Structure 1
Amino acid sequence: MPPFKLQSEYSPKGDQPQAIEALVQGLERGDRFQTLKGVTGSGKTFTMAAIIEQVQRPALVIAHNKTLAAQLCSEFREFFPDNAVEYFVSYYDYYQPEAYIPQRDLYIEKDSSINDEIDRLRHSATQAILDRRDVIIVASVSCIYGLGSPENYKAIVLKLRCGASYERDWVLRRLVDMQFTRNQMTLERGEFRVRGDLLEIQPKDEDVIIRVDFFGDEVDSIAVVDPLSGEVRARPHEITVYAASHFVTPQEKIELAVQTIQAELDERLEYFQSQGRHLEYERLQQRTRYDIEMIRETGFCAGIENYSRHLDGRAPGTPPHVLIEYFPEDFVLFIDESHQTIPQLNAMYHGDMSRKHTLIEYGFRLPSAADNRPLRFEEFEKVVNQCIFVSATPGPYELRNSTQVIEQVIRPTGLIDPEVEVRPVQGQVDDLIEEIRQRTARSERVLVTTLTKKMAEDLTDYLAEVGIRVHYLHSDIETIERTEILRDLRLGVHDVVVG
């Protein structure tokens, strides 16, 4: 694998050289927490990239929302085109968590819409960090939420090599154990099909089909094929296929998990019976026994993450497995916009627990469901190796814990803060259009902010009617589309973005 190599037409300028040198020295002497305090436009992302290149260690960059994470990921990919820069955020386009409102006796079933492309990127991220060291993962705060065990994820893989012999039925059973689905028609990610001696697998992390040609039980050839055109992209000598789900578990652990779930169910049913709560008794018994049967027969059930403690073999109250555990011990963590990200990391656990405790109390879930949760902040601190907080306005936590606060005030361009000009409300749209035309004549871009999403959409429609290339951007736009809009702004497809 290639080492980290920063590729940019720019070199460190302004305060960047001193900041890079000081922070690298801090990492090399073992400083656990440091802060990069840099004004807007001072090139903090470039500084992070230069630090990664100098220390040559895997890096995790946490941002406080998906849009910022996508922007950072795009910039790091430009800086490191020959290395693995991955994107890890929540894969839900829509998510309604399971909940119960006792005052109204209202149960709200979990409802969600998973973005298949983001799911692919999540698998690509975890597989990259397990396979190589030249990896940067840009993540949102959802990276501290429970994920499958890295040990199980690494253990349950399918490795095939040309010329080696494998019992074909064993290969197919292995794929089923890895949560792949058999489909004899059109393949989707996480599916496989068999036609005679030909096995085709579409892995979860790539838009390719792996075609394995058997001669009896011997692997005759392996080809990586474009799923649309059928063109052969590569003919590797061997391949490794990872599981189609992060919550994958070996069969022996499933049997043990079923026993411990049953034991916890019996204990909880006894509690409800002693309290005379027959409704909760019947509710919990019916739901959990159905889930146990599904796990025993298929290795999976709806809401399997609620049994993650049993499947992982963890003790009650122990922290869940998270993305950070997939990294080697010497990784470097960057927390971007830390004054906003740190409070979010701190609050995630408490918001999740209030909902879970109600579900447990009224017999919708076993008490072990509470262990499917985000990390507590103190647990997050324990798994952090070395961290650099990045912010223009670092908060009290960062300043209190950092061994050094490095300021990056002088911009590489030498520009000072722009002058803020306040203009009258009357005629503001006509004034805006005139300013836009002046900027677009110089091939510049314009960002317009509004008070509401509706106002952003209405203003966009009006500007489009007068011939301006414009698009709106707000929280209702799906994650991938946000990235495309920002990319189009850079490329000049849009001159104006209203948000």
Structure 2
Amino acid sequence: MGHSRQDGGFAEAPLEINPNIPVFTPGALGQLRPEFAPLPTFTPYKPPKPEKSDGGKRLRIVSEYEPKGDQPTAIRELVAGINEHERDQVLLGVTGSGKTFTMAKIIEATQRPALILAPNKTLAAQLYGEFASFFPESAVEYFVSYYDYYTPEAYVPRSDTYIEKESSINEQIDRMRHSATRALLERDDVVVVASVSCIYGIGDVETYSAMAFSIKKGERIPQRRLLADLVALHYKRNDGNFIRGTFRVRGDTVELYPSHFEDRAWRISLFGDEIEGIAEFDPLTGQKTAELEQVKVYSNSHYVTPKPTLEQAVRRIKDDLVIRLAEFNAAGRLLEAQRLEQRTMFDIEMMMATGSCAGIENYSRYLTGRKPGEPQPTLFEYLPDNALVFVDESHVSIPQIGGMFRGDFNRKATLAEYGFRLPSCIDNRPLRFEEWDAMRPQTICVSATPGPWEMKQTDGVFAEQVIRPTGLIDPPVVIRPVKTQVDDLIADVREVALKGYRTLVTVLTKRMAEDLTEYMHEQGIRVRYM
């Protein structure tokens, strides 16, 4: 069904610029440091993926529901568009029309892994629950920001205030992120529900998959070598407190709590240097639940880095540090030079000693080997080539994608300008909108009110889903005069109450709710506000 094309965009608010404080813009930064100039064109990097060890499984919906209303037509049109290799499609569906079930049916019909983008964690959690119920036999995963609390590192030159990064990581969400990346690398029947924060960098998929190793029954490996391999993947030995991301040693037995498991762990029994058996067990009760022939161990961190890569990265960090210190000293900015040297050398010492440091993501460009200005690895590099992307509530999600880079850039540029970070920290950033647009596979934008970008991509064409499966229609809307609105409300509420029903009244502010509640109470109506 057609729709008139609309052109539109989002205007940026003017910035208040203090002439005494250096302000970085993408253009100015490119002139100051040419390596940071925006790339004229962007070609998405497609890293090679390992062969899937658990592939071949089909995506199958388990549900008593069948498509009804406008759902069958919308499913048929969108599946046809996918098969005809249309890159962009729009599903316009009113609230309550079953858009989530339509998406699930499209995934089942095409048998392709899918990424569902949601504008916030709350909606992502709701979608995750629904898709998990639709696909109980498949890998339905949840990938959102794992911070319960997060204050980004920042510097306010006007008041000379440095704000150190503070964060609290949610262990459960971190586990689910590991489960999501592992499923994408090992299975075909995968549906990942993610918030738009997935355009921020995570570890390089090549390193993440290359450093994973298999443990097979009957294989020969010295125990010390096995423990060293686990430490290299950021697992910690903890014989007393056995939690996710740790391992413990009991004689000839090594017990490992993998990063992606919630209530299962592996017990690896050795006889000398030979792996005698591998068992899956419950970490709480110790009860064995399965005998395994082989397991594959993935890193406990997405930022895992092999020793040679780390050493090479440190050399490049030192080279850039020398250049930046020379610039500060030449400009007479000795405080910034001293600050940058002290902070960077401390980070280098920590990386060489432990393999990581606080704020290691600011050195991601060196660790991944990317060129200046190139985007860092994101979840989109983990997606298989045949994946589908559904952008839920696209009129909200897509503007968010476009706005994330600008806010992040201004904060990082200030840190670099005043010697708190090397300028390379700017490359630890979310994707630009143009980069996301180039990286995404076939996409279906889902919304009751599609935005101008979505409609422009499809030349105003969309699949419509207006008739609900339940057959319910929107209630009639009656507009009353403002002068008598309260009196009309009182009369209608009393009429509804006489029939044994309740009334929900919505107002604009909390104060209005309090005042209206007080007035209705004076009129003898049983009323509460929330």
TM-score by length of 2: 0.81
Mean CA deviation greater in 24-33 or 2-11: 2-11
**Residue 148 (structure 2) pairs with residue 93 (structure 1):** yes
Deviation at residue 419 of structure 1 after TM alignment:
3.8
Question: What is the CA deviation profile of residues 122-153 of structure 1, one whole-angstrom value per residue up to 9, with x for unaligned ones?
Answer: 11111111110100000001000011101111
- Rounded to whole Å, the distance in 1 between the matches of 2:319 and 2:291 is 50
Deviation at residue 450 of structure 1 after TM alignment:
8.3
Mean CA deviation greater in 53-62 or 167-176: 167-176
**Residue 90 (structure 2) pairs with residue 14 (structure 1):** no
Cα pair distance change 1:255/1:60, threshold 3 Å: same
Match of 1:200 in 2: 255
**C-alpha contact (below 8 Å) 1:158/1:175 kept by paired residues:** no
**C-alpha contact (below 8 Å) 1:2/1:82 kept by paired residues:** no
- 2:416 corresponds, among 349, 360, 364, to 360
The number of residues matched between the two structures is 451
Deviation at residue 183 of structure 1 after TM alignment:
1.0
**Residue 201 (structure 2) pairs with residue 146 (structure 1):** yes
Deviation at residue 448 of structure 1 after TM alignment:
8.6
Question: What is the CA deviation profile of residues 270-312 of structure 1, one whole-angstrom value per residue up to 9, with x for unaligned ones?
Answer: 1111111111111111111111111112211111100000000
Report the secondary structure of 2:167's partner residue: strand
**C-alpha contact (below 8 Å) 2:57/2:188 kept by paired residues:** no
One-letter identity of the residue aligned with 2:197: S
- 1:279 corresponds, among 335, 351, 359, to 335
- Rounded to whole Å, the distance in 1 between the matches of 2:284 and 2:140 is 25
- Rounded to whole Å, the distance in 2 between the matches of 1:188 and 1:31 is 46
Match of 1:229 in 2: 285
Match of 1:406 in 2: 463
Deviation at residue 68 of structure 1 after TM alignment:
0.5
Report the secondary structure of 1:354's partner residue: helix
Match of 1:157 in 2: 212
Report the secondary structure of 1:159's partner residue: strand
| 1:379-418 pair list within 5 angstroms | 379-402=435-458, 404-418=461-475
| 1:284-299 pair list within 5 angstroms | 284-299=340-355
Cα pair distance change 1:447/1:307, threshold 3 Å: farther
- Rounded to whole Å, the distance in 1 between the matches of 2:452 and 2:191 is 27
Report the secondary structure of 2:158's partner residue: helix
Question: What is the CA deviation profile of residues 191-210 of structure 1, one whole-angstrom value per residue up to 9, with x for unaligned ones?
Answer: 11112111111111112221
Identity of aligned residues (%): 53
- 2:369 corresponds, among 309, 313, 316, to 313
Segments of structure 2 that go 5 or more residues without pairing to the other structure are 1-55, 518-528
- Rounded to whole Å, the distance in 2 between the matches of 1:249 and 1:313 is 11
Match of 2:520 in 1: none
| 1:50-449 pair list within 5 angstroms | 50-207=105-262, 208-402=264-458, 404-420=461-477, 424=486
- Rounded to whole Å, the distance in 2 between the matches of 1:150 and 1:450 is 48
Question: What is the CA deviation profile of residues 434-460 of structure 1, one whole-angstrom value per residue up to 9, with x for unaligned ones?
Answer: 79x958xxxxxx99998569x99xx9x
Segments of structure 1 that go 5 or more residues without pairing to the other structure are 440-445, 460-497
**C-alpha contact (below 8 Å) 1:335/1:341 kept by paired residues:** yes
Deviation at residue 2 of structure 1 after TM alignment:
2.6
- Rounded to whole Å, the distance in 1 between the matches of 2:411 and 2:497 is 51
Cα pair distance change 1:80/1:447, threshold 3 Å: farther
- Rounded to whole Å, the distance in 1 between the matches of 2:308 and 2:158 is 42
Mean CA deviation greater in 226-235 or 58-67: 226-235
Deviation at residue 31 of structure 1 after TM alignment:
0.4
- Rounded to whole Å, the distance in 2 between the matches of 1:46 and 1:71 is 13
Deviation at residue 411 of structure 1 after TM alignment:
1.1
Question: What is the CA deviation profile of residues 239-282 of structure 1, one whole-angstrom value per residue up to 9, with x for unaligned ones?
Answer: 11110000011111111111111111111111111111111111
Question: What is the CA deviation profile of residues 313-343 of structure 1, one whole-angstrom value per residue up to 9, with x for unaligned ones?
Answer: 0110001110011011110000000000111
Report the secondary structure of 1:400's partner residue: helix
- Rounded to whole Å, the distance in 2 between the matches of 1:78 and 1:448 is 33
- Rounded to whole Å, the distance in 1 between the matches of 2:242 and 2:486 is 59
- Rounded to whole Å, the distance in 1 between the matches of 2:296 and 2:188 is 17
- Rounded to whole Å, the distance in 2 between the matches of 1:113 and 1:424 is 48
Deviation at residue 424 of structure 1 after TM alignment:
4.2
**C-alpha contact (below 8 Å) 2:57/2:187 kept by paired residues:** no
Aligned Cα root-mean-square deviation (Å): 2.6
Report the secondary structure of 1:235's partner residue: strand
| 1:43-54 pair list within 5 angstroms | 43-54=98-109
Deviation at residue 233 of structure 1 after TM alignment:
1.6
Q: Runs (4+) of structure 1 moved beyond 2 Å?
A: 418-428, 446-453
**C-alpha contact (below 8 Å) 1:336/1:389 kept by paired residues:** yes
- Rounded to whole Å, the distance in 2 between the matches of 1:352 and 1:232 is 48
- Rounded to whole Å, the distance in 1 between the matches of 2:66 and 2:60 is 13
One-letter identity of the residue aligned with 2:138: N
One-letter identity of the residue aligned with 1:253: T
Report the secondary structure of 2:240's partner residue: coil
Report the secondary structure of 1:417's partner residue: coil
Larger Rg: 1 or 2?
Answer: 2
- Rounded to whole Å, the distance in 1 between the matches of 2:179 and 2:508 is 36
- Rounded to whole Å, the distance in 1 between the matches of 2:123 and 2:508 is 19
